[in-house]
Structure 1
Amino acid sequence: MKTLTVLSVCALLSVCMSMNLSFGLDVDSKRFSGTPANHVLLKRDVAARLLRRRRAGANAADLSPQQLESLREVCEVNLGCEHMAESAGIIAAYTAYYGPIPY
């Protein structure tokens, strides 16, 4: 959800920049006023956070409550997975019994 929000804001920002709508802010004083922006520059750490892929060893902070609940529902069917989830956590239990998390 956070990624979708950030990408939406970036898209809106790029549309505004291409239409030269700076809303009173001096975004780029060196650029000519008549030329549209054809790219957006991001700092390296911001771009890395936007494009980061989930690793197989994802932790609970990376998953939304809905995703965690769906993992719990899958583990409820298997008694061994359910017991492991109570002791080691849902991420470890799901990964041990069903493999990598699909999202």
Structure 2
Amino acid sequence: MKTLVVLVLCSLAVICVISDADPDPQPAGDNPAQDGMFVERDEASTVVRQKRAAGQLSLVQLESLREVCEANLGCEHMMDTAGIIAAYTAYYGPIPY
């Protein structure tokens, strides 16, 4: 009787191990998720999105910053003395583009 119980338990354990195994194992090179090709959206945006230097802004972007800064007298005065980039950054934070 004990032998029958042990045999049934062993066969159940073997069935569980076999059913959990991947029926179609792929080599590590075939699965792009394991190779690190895909990353989470937040991680990708921090890696890809980099700040642009002030010299890389187009004339249209600089004009839009100037229009925002002209609405504030302090920002407008600083814009005339220190430049649009410094004034916008001081009053409104980092440049959005």
TM-score normalised per structure 1: 0.45
Q: Which has the higher helix share?
A: 2
